[in-house]
Structure 1
Amino acid sequence: MNHLSMERILERIHQSEQFEEMRITRDQVHEMFREHLLFSYTPETGQRINHMHDALIQRTTQIAEYLLEDEGYGKPPVSYAFILLGSGGRREQTLWSDQDNGLIYADSETHSQEELDAYFEKLTTYILHGLNVLGYPPCEGNVISSNPQWRKSLQGYTEMMLDWCKEPDWENVRYLLILADVRCIYGSEALVVKLKQSFLAYVQEHPSLLKYLLSNTLHHKISLGVLGHLITERYGEDAGGFDIKYGAYIPIVNGIRLLAIHAGILATSTMERIEQLKVNGISEHLASEWEMAFSIALQLRDSTPFLLEEERYTTRGKLSSHQLNKEVRLQLKRCLRTGIALQKYVAKSIESHKEREKG
């Protein structure tokens, strides 16, 4: 297995006819990647991991379609998009990421809402069963297509998004930022583009929404003390470790995402967003610093210990105390200092925009 090329891995996934068959491939490839991550990490490694996840989820959706057809439910009544959110939407999944997904289907004049709901509820039941077999735990925040909130027609999604925009309380703003990372993994890309364009257009037309997005964006603080020391876990089994997910990775992702929303950028991956922000006027120096900090956070996040719970891959997103050697601490502090500067830059950018609007 160690000698399999990425092309051969993807071929095995696409040729699988059962969820259990794909689980065997995932376990083998997971071990291959995990051993590789112990010795070296490159951005290409992360890209290959995400190619694997994409292929597994795409094939799972195809097999779910076939199962419904075999059972007499027919083909999908309208076009649809199975979507990823969270790290999947950003193409930044680790080996052990959970499920953050939804489904958007086209509006129809020939099928009733009840018919469409019934078909796509059944389809997502099969998809989620397959993903469970493959070892993906469900999202703890219930951002998943079994939740009717994340399984709607395009019109339903658009109306829900506009309701969130018009009532920007904390929870609604959290949902808007989740939706900003939406990516079509299977099906109609056009449905996703229309939804994202509607959101970005609303922000451009109602810039007052930015202050609410900013408050949520800065909620997670960079875990670096005022004297430049790492803020590590104090209690429990992770004592002495570092929360790389919420202390570094998420604050950087959130900051870049808000700058991208402000600039009307459709891209979802953090690196792509930084590249497009350069086109929109961000200096090469700043972009380079952000890319460096994000790469460090991504690398260290990929090296956190993982667990198998009820045959599902999971992680607490924390570096253990023994992983925090001198080299890692130096890397991490450089990342965190840049993260703090990024958060200040984002706040200043949004505040200055508000002042210009007042002027």
Structure 2
Amino acid sequence: MSDNLSFETIQSSIRLAQSAEELRAIRDRVHEWYGIRAKGERAVERSEAVNSIHDALIDRSVAIAESAWSAEAGPLPCPYAFVLFGSGGRREQTLWSDQDNGLVYAGGADEEALYGEYFRELAERIGQALESVGYPPCSGNVLSTNPKWRKPLSSWTAMMDGWMDDPQWEHVRYLLIVADARCIRGDRWLTERLLDHMDSRLRREPQLLAAMLRNTLHHKVAVGVFGQLITERYGDDAGAFDVKYGAYIPMVNALRLLAYAHGVRESSSLARIEGLRRKGLLDDKLAHEWALAFEAVLKLRSETSYQLEDGYYTTRGMLTLDRERRAELRRILRAGRRMQQIVRREIEKASIAKKG
């Protein structure tokens, strides 16, 4: 790839692609483009560029699958939304992110009986297209091909009510997945209705936040009581640091719950920090510190090694440490620990107020 291939040219190539195979060729070339772009650029700018490309690749993959299926089975029978969860929902994907998605279509039980088979086949074709482009399926099966994550709107809200009526660990985990939902193609209002439904229940029943707090604090930042980094002890990764679960996920989880507790409806973690600042929960200094720390963890995530396995880009998420990275991680994890302390304080305060 030549240095003069621009971001705009990549986007244009994606829009013009007519097959998953063409999209896969573009995606493979993006890795080389990224290596050129990464020199001297801020991590947040690199992440925004990568996620804009992911959005374009996924949207075009869905469009190609949708077009092929509608040519066989007829046009879409009702409005639908193809939804991203996880890092895709937050616009925080890396070059090697996998699939986390769902599908919502308009209506209820009648529409499920009439159109369920149509959307089942559409989801299968979308999943196949995304795999061909290089997105491995989610290991937890959070996929539109799984009936749990493919339903008409009223069935989605009924399922979410069931989770909130019985907020056991697994049900809360599902709610937190939905909390990051973002429509990538289709009718955005369907996704908004899902999030509106969760918001309204949380406003009426803030005790649900306490159940969400247990899941949110499950992954602690990987720093010991004396400030030492907690690294891998055994195996090939001995001495390395797990960036995803030791820093990134604890911060993401804390910011998500703080945002929902205070009515901040943003999808990305950095936007959630800014939303919390605007609401007055964070002062300017603390918001700035958290934003810098989160940008730094995005940078370190992008520096973990990855490999091509069975046609997919994958990583173990481990970061080798030198003196500079250790110092940077200590700063990041201090901010992460503060996030977890504040989310605990805020949710416990809300629970006490409810009891009073």
Matches within 5 A, 1:1-359: 1=1, 2-37=3-38, 41-70=42-71, 72-107=72-107, 112-281=111-280, 282-319=282-319, 321=320, 324-359=321-356
Shift of 1:7: 1.2
User: Which residue identity does 1:121 align to in structure 2?
Assistant: R
Aligned AA for 1:240? G
Q: Aligned letter for 1:158? A: T
Contact 1:89/1:181, CA 8 A, preserved across alignment: yes
- Kindly state the Cα deviation for residue 39 of structure 1 after the two structures are TM-superposed: 6.5
Please state how far the C-alpha of 1:214 moved relative to its aligned partner: 0.5
Q: Supply the distance in 1 between the matched residues of 2:112 and 2:254 (Cα, whole angstroms).
A: 38
The structural deviation recorded for 1:36 is 4.1
- What's the offset of the Cα at 1:115? 3.0
Q: Distance in 1 between matches of 2:44 and 2:300?
A: 12
Paired residues in the alignment total 354
Q: Considering only aligned residues, what root-mean-square deviation do their CA atoms show, in Å? A: 1.4
> Which secondary structure does the structure 1 equivalent of 2:353 belong to?
helix
Note the C-alpha offset of 1:18: 0.7
Aligned partners of 2:188 and 2:64: how far apart in 1?
19
CA–CA distance in structure 1, aligned partners of residues 300 and 66 of structure 2? 37
The answer to whether the 8 A contact 1:243-1:317 is kept is yes
Taking every aligned residue pair, what percent have the same amino acid on both sides? Answer: 48
What SS does structure 2 have at the residue aligned with 1:136?
A: coil
* Distance in 1 separating the partners of 2:302 and 2:48: 12
1:136-184 deviations in Å (ceiling 9; x for gaps): 1110111111100000111111111111001000000000001000000
1:182-228 per-residue CA deviation (whole Å, 9 max, x = no partner) reads 00000111001111011011001001111100010000011011121
C-alpha distance in 2 between matches for 1:180 and 1:254:
11
Of residues 115-124 and 170-179 in structure 1, the stretch that sits farther from structure 2 once superposed is 115-124
Partner AA of 2:82 in structure 1: F
Matches of 2:161 and 2:235, distance apart in 1: 42
Q: Deviations over 1:278-335 (max 9, x none)?
A: 121121122112111111111101111111110011111111x3xx111111111000
CA displacement at 1:38 relative to structure 2: 7.0
User: Is the Cα–Cα contact under 8 Å of residues 244 and 297 in structure 1 kept in the other structure?
Assistant: yes
CA apart distance, 1:42: 2.7
Structure 2 unmatched ranges of 5 or more: none
The answer to whether the 8 A contact 2:108-2:154 is kept is no
Q: Which amino acid aligns with 2:144?
A: S
CA deviations 1:204-259 (Å, max 9, x no partner) are: 10011111000100000110111211111011221111000000000000000001
TM-score by length of 1: 0.96
Q: In structure 2, the residue corresponding to 1:61 is in which secondary structure? A: helix
C-alpha separation in 1, matches of 2:204 and 2:137: 36
Residues 85-125 of structure 1, C-alpha deviations (whole Å, 9 max, x = no match): 0000000000000000010001179x742331111111111
What is the alpha-carbon distance in structure 2 between the residues aligned to residue 62 and residue 245 of structure 1?
Answer: 31
- Residue 238 of structure 1 aligns to a residue whose secondary structure is coil
CA contact (8 A) 1:78 1:108 kept: no
Given that residues 62 and 185 in structure 2 are in contact (C-alpha distance below 8 angstroms), is that contact kept between their aligned partners in structure 1?
yes
| 1:19-44 deviation per Cα after TM superposition (whole angstroms, max 9, x unaligned) | 10111111001222145447654311
Q: Match of 2:143, SS? A: coil
Distance 1:142 1:42 in 2: 30
Distance between the aligned counterparts of 1:260 and 1:235, measured in 2? Answer: 37
For 1:349 and 1:128, the matched residues in 2 are separated by 39
Runs of 5+ consecutive residues of structure 1 not aligned to the other structure: none
Task: Find the residue that maps to 1:313 and give its secondary structure.
Answer: strand
Following superposition, the deviation at residue 351 of structure 1 comes to 1.0
114-123 vs 239-248, which moves further: 114-123
